[in-house]
Amino acid sequence: MSETAPSAAGEQQNQAASLQKIQTLLSAKDDTSRFVGLALLKSVLDNTPELRTDEDGLVSLWESIPQKFLDRLIRTGSKQQAKGTNDMLDLAVSVLHTFTALLPEKSRQDTKLVNRIPQLVACLLYCSDDTTRLVLETLVSLVNQPEGAKVFDTIEDLSTLTEIAPSQPLVLDTLFYSWLGAMATTSDKMTLSSKIDKTIGMLVVSFRGTDGVTLLNFLGNLLPRLDPELLPPNPTWLPSLAKFVRDLVISRPTADGRAAFTNLSAALLEVYPIQAPSFYLPRMSTPNTQQRAKLNNPSYNPTAQRLTSAYNVVSNFMGYLLRTLEALDSGETNNNQWIMKPDLLLKLRTSISETMSLTAEYLRDRWDASIAGAMGLHPEARTAAANEGGVSHFTLAWDSKSVHSSQDPLILAAIRTLAIWLREDDGELLRKEAAGLCDMFVDLYQTSSAPEKGLDFRRPLLVAFEGILEERKGKEAFLENGGWQALVTDLYNIFQASSTMSDENEAARGVEIVRILLQIAEAEQPGPREDWMDLVTKVAAWAVPDQTQPPMVEEFQVAVLQLATALLVNAHPGLRRRYTHSTSAIIGIATQLRDKVKKDKGLVEALSDVLEALAALH
């Protein structure tokens, strides 16, 4: 210990001497000595952890750097054209970056630091890639406070930023924080609005030739947050944004891409309710008779792709609307973040409802042509034979010879969009119209049970059934066309597989099936049909797996027991007596399952209700 103390003291003395030497060099009158001092300072800061946490020491070192010397380094370095060998500019930026990160918040707002912002923006034209990154990180930190945003607002030419924005996302962060900060401090809103308008226009030009995802995401976040008086009144860049969105939609975008154009949709509809619909969300084209005639033309594929993308845009936008409503209902957001005015939302609802009605009409006609020939048309009157996907059937002249309806992405996209609207909107008329599609939906559900053959319609169709079954006509059409049997068959397959496999996606679909069948079983009068009780027998023969399974799988298994219990409870007493042994077996299964899921209070409570209901039947 006697050796350690003098050693530590010696290190402190060496460090103090080194810092004193650096400050002496920085206070010299010649720039060569200052440059050496600044280089030594950067090295000491990088290699002395205890100094990086010494706020008083950092402030003292920062104050010892002549600000005019920093300016000369940046200015002189900016005149050197050879990127990557610019020692003066690289050192000045590196030092500013380090002090911006380490100085206490009060010092970061000091004029000596924030007044370097214009020079940092100007020098970007001459920076190496690494120094560019340091400049942008420094700018983001500085403009994210009132004083920095105020200084940034004085810069007239932002072209050095907009030109590199496609390859440097931090540019958009810099603009985002600086404009929001300036919004709170500037008194000249008109000038700031003009600058925002001009800069966004420059960004749109810079992003041409890219997918524009980062730009769309930036504008989707920025525009709703700007004060109304800061929004450019008649922006010339709206059509260009619409093109970005169209190009992105038809390019099979990633999840980030879909989120970007969906959020921008909401933003533009909110802030530009008059201009945006015509530029950005034109009335969606719905397949008409003329387009049906193109089913066998070479132009069908691009037409179908465009319409598929249009449906996907609408369905994603519906999802955004629903999330916004849920956030409002739950208190997660405030009224200032409402997506659009109520009168505009009502107009949008009317437009979508009309489009969905035409969509249902198209689906009916297309399915009749490809499968049934035509609604109400006798089979002998059908004109020609076709063989599609290995299935031989009659077809009308305008049906597709190459793409069967059950394998057409357009049909899947249309059904997905229609399904969301049927479930979420209370349109009685549309639900009755959709009930006429139950034969198509049930058929598609059954053919999707072998997904290796092509498209899987099952999840969208389950969503559609939820809406259709709200109407009496919908329930009748669903049952008449074999809907119960189609869903029960799928449900039992998932249930059996859950004994040995833990597929959470399958289990999630199973929970949706139970929700639909439970709705039907509980509403059927005077009770469940006799053939429905086959499910009770099959559930009674199920063996509870020993291994621990994911929560979704266990939730699904409990849901199946709840469905079997509902069938028994609602069955006529005479019919119920035939299932005494099955009832006892299900009680045993529920007891075992309750012991297995005892850590999940919700599932334990649900199984206790099952046991109580079944015990009452004995």
Judge contact between 357 and 430, C-beta under 8 A: yes
467 versus 42: the higher-pLDDT residue is: 467
pLDDT, residue 283, reads: 44
Residue 577 has pLDDT above 60, yes or no: yes
Greatest C-alpha distance within the chain: 109
pLDDT, residue 83, reads: 46
pLDDT tens-digit series, residues 108-117: 888 889 999 9
pLDDT, residue 379, reads: 43
Share of the chain above pLDDT 70, in %: 84
Residue 444 has pLDDT above 80, yes or no: yes
Report, as an integer, the average pLDDT of 9-35. Answer: 74
pLDDT, residue 12, reads: 62
Residue 453 has pLDDT above 80, yes or no: no
Residue-wise over 100-117: b if at least 16 C-beta within 10 A, else e? Answer: bebbeeebbeeeebbebb
Q: What is the DSSP letter of 456?
A: -
pLDDT tens-digit series, residues 122-131: 999 888 889 9
pLDDT tens-digit series, residues 42-53: 888 877 777 777
Contacts 24+ apart (CB under 8 A), 361-365: 361/433, 362/286, 362/287, 362/414, 363/411, 363/414, 363/415, 363/418, 363/437, 363/440, 364/436, 364/437, 364/440, 365/292
Backbone φ, ψ for residue 392 (5° rounding): -95, 130
pLDDT, residue 382, reads: 44
Report, as an integer, the average pLDDT of 93-106. Answer: 88
Encoded amino acid at 377, one letter: L
Burial class (CB in 10 A: 0-12, 13-18, 19+), 541: exposed
Report, as an integer, the average pLDDT of 396-409. Answer: 64
50 versus 550: the higher-pLDDT residue is: 550
Residue 187 has pLDDT above 60, yes or no: yes
pLDDT tens-digit series, residues 299-348: 667 777 778 877 887 887 888 778 777 777 766 655 555 666 777 788 88
Residue 71 has pLDDT above 90, yes or no: no
Q: Which of 257-261, 339-343, 437-441 has the highest mean pLDDT?
A: 437-441
Q: Which of 281-295, 394-408, 447-461 has the highest mean pLDDT?
A: 447-461
* Mean pLDDT, all residues of the chain: 84
